Structure 1
Amino acid sequence: MSIEVWLSYFLAVVILSVSPGAGAVNTMSTSIRVGVRRSIPAIFGLQAGLALDILLVGFGLGALVASSVTAFTVLKWAGAAYLVYLGYRKWTDQGTVEISRGQAGEASAWKMFNQAALVNLTNPKALVFLVALFPQFIDPARPQLMQFFILGLTLVGVDILVMFGYASLASSLRQLLSSRRHMRIQNRIFGGLFVGAGALLASVKS
């Protein structure tokens, strides 16, 4: 994998991680309840779920590459189209993200870890997104294991940093995310980024 391909992938996963989703909402909600330091188990629980998703997608795509390069190429273009579709959905989304303060409670670190892991494991969109994303950067003519390892490690590393950022800024972000006007602006920014990413990824050569 060339540095140019990796940098393109890095940009894509930054967009993916920063764009508010179930993981970000879980992290912010937990941080609001128990603080940034005590929300660390929840952040790493998200990564555990994400890592299992990456393994599932990696094994599946590896088998697909071994059986049919043509099918892999079709999946690559379908994935790029899906990214553009996500951008359209994000651009037109008029909703807000609701974060409940709730009670601080005494949830154990293990319970927060497990609950956060399930957020990613039970979110089919995470799997679909990874299936759409990974083929853009995998060279089917080269060994697969190291390529998947680099992609997975990069994604988890970026997501950890972003989730810590969300946890730290949870209080100030709460007001922005509960404002329909602010959320509409944010949705259009991320929607445009997704569409641009889909167009860019379709042209990337491993």
Structure 2
Amino acid sequence: MDYHVWLAYVVTAIVFSLAPGSGTVNSISNGINYGTKKSLAAILGLQIGLAFHIALVGAGIGALVAQSAVAFSLIKWIGVVYLLWLGVQKWREKANIQSSEQPLPQSSVKLLRSAILINLTNPKSIVFLVALFPQFLDPGKDQLPQLLVLGVTTVCIDAFVMLGYTSLAAQLGRYIRSERIMGRINKVFGSMFVGCGALLAAAKS
């Protein structure tokens, strides 16, 4: 994978991880209720679930590239359309952070298990990765090394971002808990997704 392609993916992956979703809500809620240190188990759990999705998506895309160049090109364009659609949905979405003033104590194992299930049962992660990965793969080169680079990059960036959300929530929970603030965040990242989709479409025209 070329260095400039990887850098472009890093920027896109940061947007993907920063955009509010179920993992973000989980990280913010844990930060508010349990603090940063205890929430580390949940961050690990989110990455385990994400890594499982990456493995599934990578295997499927690798098989697709080997079988049909036309199908690979088609899924790339579907990915562009999905990015645009996701941006519109994010713009319109409202996020609610549920937390209690006196949360029940949770063990690290329970937080880990809950976080794994959150990502495993979130089909949007798979759909997004299916839309995202082909934009940065060269079908003329070996797919496995490229997929490994994208997968490791995704997990590392997401772990760092979730840690940032958790730490920020632990310090500024009463502000992040606001639906108005979360609504503004959704609009910002919705616009970013639309921008990414438009740039990808322009690059392929």
Q: What amino acid sits opposite 2:184 in the alignment?
A: I
8 Å contact from structure 1 (residues 83, 197) kept in 2: yes
Conserved 8 A contact 2:28-2:166: yes
Aligned to 1:64: 64
2:77 is aligned to: 77
Distance 1:185 1:28, change over 3 A: closer
Match runs of 1:139-154 below 5 Å = 139-154=138-153
Alignment partner of 1:135 is 2:134: yes
Deviation at 1:2, TM superposition (A): 0.9
Q: Deviations over 1:2-34 (max 9, x none)?
A: 111111111111001011110011111122222
Q: Deviations over 1:147-200 (max 9, x none)?
A: 0000001000101110110111114254244232x3333222111100111122
CA-atom RMSD in angstroms? 1.6
Distance apart, 1:96 and its partner CA: 3.2
Check 1:49–1:92 CA distance in 2 against 1; reply closer, same or farther (3 A cut): same
Q: Which letter does structure 2 place at the counterpart of 1:159?
A: D
Distance 1:186 1:32, change over 3 A: closer
Counterpart position of 1:50: 50
Q: For the residues of structure 1 that align with 2:79 and 2:89, how far apart are their CA atoms? A: 15
The 5-angstrom pairing of residues 183-194 of structure 1 reads: 183-194=182-193
Q: Report the identity percentage.
A: 49
- Segments of 5+ residues of structure 1 without an aligned counterpart are none
User: What residue in structure 2 maps to residue 13 of structure 1?
Assistant: 13
Question: Counterpart of 2:113?
Answer: 114
Partner residue in 2 for 1:96? 95
Instruction: Rate the CA distance shift 1:56–1:204 in 2: closer, same or farther, 3 A.
Output: farther
Structure 1 distance, partners of 2:128, 2:64, is 17
Give TM-score scaled by structure 2 length. 0.93
In 1: Cα distance, 2:173 partner to 2:75 partner: 36
* Structure 1 runs (4+) greater than 4 angstroms displaced: none
Q: Aligned partners of 2:101 and 2:13: how far apart in 1? A: 31
Does 2:154 correspond to 1:155? yes
CA distance in 1, matches of 2:89, 2:30: 27
Contact 1:5 1:204 in 2 (8 A): no
- Count how many residue pairs are aligned between Structure 1 and Structure 2: 203
Q: How does 1:29-40 map to 2 (within 5 A)?
A: 29-40=29-40
Q: Which moved more, 1:65-74 or 1:167-176?
A: 167-176
Q: Distance in 1 between matches of 2:132 and 2:95?
A: 26
1:28–1:176: structure 2 CA closer, same or farther, 3 Å change rule? closer
Q: Residues 19 and 190 of structure 1 are in contact (CA less than 8 Å); yes or no, is this contact kept in structure 2?
A: yes
| Residues 102 and 129 of structure 1, relative CA distance in 2, 3 Å threshold | farther
Matches of 1:45 and 1:62, distance apart in 2: 26
Q: Which runs of 5+ in 2 are unaligned?
A: none
> Structure 1 CA distance, aligned partners of 2:145 and 2:203?
19
TM value normalised by structure 1: 0.92
